[in-house]
Chain A
Amino acid sequence: MLSVVTLLINETAPETPITDSLILEIAKGDMESFHSLYEAASGSVYGFALSILKNKHDAEDILQETFLTIHRKAADYLPQGKPMAWIFTIARNLCLTRLKGNGKLTELDEGRATEQAEFSEIGNLEHRLTLEATFKVLTDEERQILMLHAVGGVKFREIAHALDLHLNTVLSKYHRSIKKMKEKLEREGF
């Protein structure tokens, strides 16, 4: 993922880094900045929501709600140099609210989760199996950490902040999850 970012920087229109000032521009109503933020962060927000909710439709809703909240709350943002942590805290809270709202359905959810964690619409088999593997072999927390780091290129420090974990915990969980994923995917022939 970082190599993607790197290569994009060569382009004339580089991918905008997610900074405090970007959020402040959004607070002023600059839709171009909002769009840049969406381009830069939508993947990780969606992936994060998916890793928590295990359901594409819910993840889609959270993606929308997160960006609507960002747009609405940008003016309240306190620049502390941690915009990613802020964004993922919003996304996480929305996810948790949704899980609570679905509380009655928890028993059903178990069955639904495994059912939903199949992504037949992904054309590339390797991509698809990798994503599905995160639901099969990882714990929720491991999956969230891996997703944030892999899809969003979010720094471990910011992940620690957003998930309310210690940096060392995040690091060790990340390495464990990578190991599990490797084992799983290598068993599947990749």
Chain B
Amino acid sequence: MNNKRIHHNLSAAVNELIPSGEYEIITAKIDSAKNQEKAGINMTAKKSNGKIISYKKIIGTAVAACVALVIGLFGYNYYSTNYAVASIVDIDVNPSVELTANSKDKVLDVTAVNEDGKAILGDMDLKGTDIEVAVNAVVGAMVKGGYFDGQENEILISVQNDDKKHAETLKNKISDNVGTSLEAHKVSSAIINQTIEKGDKLSDAEKFAEEQGVSIGKANFILNLVKKDSSLKAEDLAKLSLKEIAEIVNTKKIDISDIAEVDPEDSIWENIADTVEDVNEQAEEKTDSSAPSNNGVITKNKAREIALRDAGLSESEVIFVEEKLESEKGKKVYEIEFYSEGTEYDYEINANTGKIISSDLDIEDFKIPSSKPQNNSDSSKKENNSSKTISKDKAEKAALKHAGVKASDARFDRTELDNDDGNLHYEIEFYANGYDYDYEVDAKSGAIISFDKEKDDDYVDSGKASNSNSSKITKSEAKKLALSHAGVKSADAKFSKTELDYDDGRKYYDVEFKAVGYEYDYEIDAESGAILKSDKEKDDDYVAPSSSSSKISKAKAKKAAFNHAGVKESEVRELSAEYDNDDGKKIYEIEFKSGKYEYSYEIDAISGKVISHEKEIDD
């Protein structure tokens, strides 16, 4: 059991607890809040007339009928005659879902009409939410589930109500809402609206819907259509998608203007003509994807490929342990697990999008890492060949190896991938054996870009037993020797190279760094610490710190903080200074203690100005 495993377990546990439809519910609530703002104006207007529009007794039914269809914008309003108690709204895509609401527009129940509907609903708990919110959540989940192919889509909304006005209002509200929500999801879609009123036909439609396993809205539309053209058979139509029905409407030139309210903003006939063309083109596609549950799911091989590419490994280097397609709360996920050289990789890949949901790698527990540091060299060889980003784990190891610190002795305070100056690198901070280490490791090669080692004053020295480096002088010591020779503060230096080299049987450190406009190159004897060579050149690339785009040195930032606080550097204890750029704003975060106070500063890394400061009594 290590930190990482605890982190991973917690992360996995928490993410499993979050219901899959949460984001949809949130956006749906945002949408409905927006609509309520708009509606608020209307409501007041109506109230002054003494007439209050109420959405009482509205039951929403969302049913879906066709995958990836185009019909453009239609508005069919079906006013069949009555149906007693409540009202119903239908929305059709392919997953079919039915919602019922009480008189306060709160959802009473949500049921899936078909298997896809079940998948979409997952464990979304919409009971008690506003009907509009619920419809939006369902539509959002459909989008997320990949039921809209991103090109042209169709969705049928039918509203069933005991009162035309109620039905009309709710229909408009919902289709507005759905339109906004789809737009937000960047889905272009055709919304077909139909309003169903009290009608004798409805019970027929209901019966028919049940017999045929279609939604009521679709059944109602079919029955109406059949009445207009006796050559059509309702049973046959029920087997067809909405798109196909629309095609029939077109080819038979059935005038649907009396059974459908056409949205004047869109030319349906033009859209239908387009549809007809698309029908021919998509006919084959459609039969391929006739099993909608497989729609858009990537193959297992593809999932493998994605995982391997991410891990930077080839198929021959790994042993697959487990590959399975799982349906987690309506979301299809590939779980891919494989081993390579004692490392276990664990991936979860969204089967619809191919996006990696989570990935994790663990060094096998039975190999004690501190006793087998050779593992490092194996993997670091590979790092050099790979153009990929190395893992955080590898970066940490590289830093540890460089520092000559055992993994068991180190306490990592920070390991972050940073994209400072366009160079992807890890910033690693750890504490070990009385020292605070600060490393920058190239995220591609794993090479140490810079490092810093500071004595932690609180530490009681227990000897240098942990220093496994065979040469007498450690890299950090060599670095310090070079710095002191150059008269440069470590905070000002940017190390480009610190390497142990062999020349004529002599071991020496090659230390290169840049500081305040100069490039330094040192060779330091690894045994004696003697400076074999020193070189100082003007750095042509150097931009003076006053220039707006470059940051001030850490030392300057510290000074600014000390000056502001009115303390002398010599009076400062427990100083920590961190450069922070990952939030898009370049700042130094400086904390220190002096006297009985604890200070916390944020210094603008460009201007050197104090952005914020805090002074507290140190407890």
Which positions in A face B, CB cutoff 8 Å? 1-11, 13, 17-21, 31-32, 34-35, 38, 42-43, 46-47, 50, 56, 59-60, 63-64, 67-68, 71, 79-83, 119, 121-124, 126-128, 130-131, 134, 146-147, 149-151, 155-157, 166-168, 171, 175, 178, 181-182, 185-186, 190
Query: Once the chains are docked, how many angstroms separate the CA of A144 from the CA of B359?
Result: 24
Assess the A64–B7 pair: CB atoms within 8 A.
no
Assess the B585–A5 pair: CB atoms within 8 A.
no
Query: Once the chains are docked, how many angstroms separate the CA of A127 from the CA of B12?
Result: 7
Q: State whether A11 and B583 are in contact (beta carbons under 8 Å apart), knowing that A3-B392, A146-B10, A178-B6 are contacts in the complex.
A: no
B361 on the A face (CB < 8 A):
yes
Query: Once the chains are docked, how many angstroms separate the CA of A168 from the CA of B618?
Result: 11
From A10, A31, A83, A150, contact of B7 by CB (8 A):
A150
**A128 to B: closest C-beta gap in Å:** 6
**A48 to B: closest C-beta gap in Å:** 9
Question: Of B13, B25, B587, B612, which is in contact with the most chain A CB atoms at under 10 Å from its CB?
Answer: B13
Query: Once the chains are docked, how many angstroms separate the CA of A185 from the CA of B589?
Result: 36
User: What residues of chain A lie closer than 8 Å to B585, measured between beta carbons?
Assistant: 20, 79-81
A123 nearest CB neighbor, chain B only: B16
Which positions in B face A, CB cutoff 8 Å? 1-19, 22-23, 25-27, 29-30, 33, 184, 186, 309-312, 355-356, 358-361, 388-389, 391-393, 411, 413-417, 424, 574, 576, 578, 580, 582-585, 587, 589, 591, 598, 602, 611-612
Q: State whether A150 and B17 are in contact (beta carbons under 8 Å apart), knowing that A9-B389, A64-B29, A130-B6 are contacts in the complex.
A: no
Query: Once the chains are docked, how many angstroms separate the CA of A35 from the CA of B582?
Result: 20
Query: Once the chains are docked, how many angstroms separate the CA of A43 from the CA of B13?
Result: 10
Query: Once the chains are docked, how many angstroms separate the CA of A168 from the CA of B574?
Result: 10
Starting from the known contacts A7-B361, A59-B17, A83-B583, 4 additional A-B residue pairs (CB-CB under 8 Å) come to: A11-B356, A18-B583, A46-B14, A68-B33
Assess the A131–B10 pair: CB atoms within 8 A.
yes
**A122 to B: closest C-beta gap in Å:** 5
Question: Of B6, B7, B14, B417, which is in contact with the most chain A CB atoms at under 10 Å from its CB?
Answer: B14
Query: Once the chains are docked, how many angstroms separate the CA of A12 from the CA of B312?
Result: 14
Query: Once the chains are docked, how many angstroms separate the CA of A13 from the CA of B357?
Result: 11
Interface of B is mostly: mixed
**B415 to A: closest C-beta gap in Å:** 6
From A1, A128, A181, contact of B11 by CB (8 A):
A1
Assess the B17–A17 pair: CB atoms within 8 A.
no
Q: State whether A42 and B612 are in contact (beta carbons under 8 Å apart), knowing that A3-B392, A175-B411 are contacts in the complex.
A: no
User: What residues of chain B lie closer than 8 Å to A150, measured between beta carbons?
Assistant: 6-7, 10-11
Query: Once the chains are docked, how many angstroms separate the CA of A43 from the CA of B310?
Result: 22
Query: Once the chains are docked, how many angstroms separate the CA of A130 from the CA of B8?
Result: 10
B18 nearest CB neighbor, chain A only: A46
From B17, B27, B580, contact of A122 by CB (8 A):
B17
Assess the B26–A7 pair: CB atoms within 8 A.
no
User: What residues of chain B lie closer than 8 Å to A130, measured between beta carbons?
Assistant: 6, 9-10, 13
B31 nearest CB neighbor, chain A only: A31
Assess the B13–A3 pair: CB atoms within 8 A.
no
Query: Once the chains are docked, how many angstroms separate the CA of A19 from the CA of B581?
Result: 10
Assess the B29–A68 pair: CB atoms within 8 A.
yes
From B2, B359, B598, contact of A3 by CB (8 A):
B359
Q: State whether A6 and B13 are in contact (beta carbons under 8 Å apart), knowing that A13-B355, A17-B582 are contacts in the complex.
A: no
Assess the B17–A6 pair: CB atoms within 8 A.
no
Assess the A5–B26 pair: CB atoms within 8 A.
no
Query: Once the chains are docked, how many angstroms separate the CA of A12 from the CA of B583?
Result: 21
From B10, B392, B416, contact of A47 by CB (8 A):
B10
Assess the A68–B26 pair: CB atoms within 8 A.
yes
B362 nearest CB neighbor, chain A only: A3
Q: State whether A7 and B356 are in contact (beta carbons under 8 Å apart), knowing that A122-B16, A122-B17 are contacts in the complex.
A: yes
Assess the B26–A67 pair: CB atoms within 8 A.
yes
Assess the B18–A43 pair: CB atoms within 8 A.
yes
Question: Of B12, B186, B393, B612, which is in contact with the most chain A CB atoms at under 10 Å from its CB?
Answer: B12
**A31 to B: closest C-beta gap in Å:** 5
Q: State whether A127 and B13 are in contact (beta carbons under 8 Å apart), knowing that A46-B18, A64-B26, A81-B587 are contacts in the complex.
A: yes
Assess the A47–B393 pair: CB atoms within 8 A.
no
User: What residues of chain A lie closer than 8 Å to B19, measured between beta carbons?
Assistant: 60
From B3, B11, B186, B591, contact of A43 by CB (8 A):
B11
User: What residues of chain A lie closer than 8 Å to B4, measured between beta carbons?
Assistant: 3
Question: Of B6, B27, B582, B612, which is in contact with the most chain A CB atoms at under 10 Å from its CB?
Answer: B6
User: What residues of chain A lie closer than 8 Å to B23, measured between beta carbons?
Assistant: 35, 38, 42
Assess the A20–B584 pair: CB atoms within 8 A.
yes
From A5, A32, A38, A56, contact of B417 by CB (8 A):
A5
Q: List 13 A–B pairs whose Cβ atoms lie within 8 Å, in order of A's numbering.
A: A6-B417, A7-B310, A10-B388, A11-B310, A19-B582, A20-B584, A35-B23, A60-B18, A64-B29, A150-B11, A151-B14, A151-B15, A182-B2
Question: Of A79, A146, A157, which is in contact with the most chain B CB atoms at under 10 Å from its CB?
Answer: A157
Assess the A63–B417 pair: CB atoms within 8 A.
no
Assess the A71–B30 pair: CB atoms within 8 A.
yes
Assess the B1–A186 pair: CB atoms within 8 A.
yes
Q: State whether A122 and B583 are in contact (beta carbons under 8 Å apart), knowing that A46-B18, A63-B18, A64-B29 are contacts in the complex.
A: no
Question: Of A2, A151, A171, which is in contact with the most chain B CB atoms at under 10 Å from its CB?
Answer: A2
B181 nearest CB neighbor, chain A only: A31
From A2, A21, A56, A126, contact of B17 by CB (8 A):
A56
Query: Once the chains are docked, how many angstroms separate the CA of A119 from the CA of B17?
Result: 8
Query: Once the chains are docked, how many angstroms separate the CA of A63 from the CA of B19?
Result: 11
A182 nearest CB neighbor, chain B only: B1
Query: Once the chains are docked, how many angstroms separate the CA of A126 from the CA of B8?
Result: 10
User: What residues of chain B lie closer than 8 Å to A64, measured between beta carbons?
Assistant: 22, 25-26, 29
Minimum-distance CB pairs A-B, first 6:
A130-B9, A81-B583, A131-B13, A150-B7, A47-B14, A127-B13
User: What residues of chain B lie closer than 8 Å to A4, measured between beta carbons?
Assistant: 8, 11, 358-360
User: What residues of chain B lie closer than 8 Å to A190, measured between beta carbons?
Assistant: 1, 5
Assess the A119–B391 pair: CB atoms within 8 A.
no
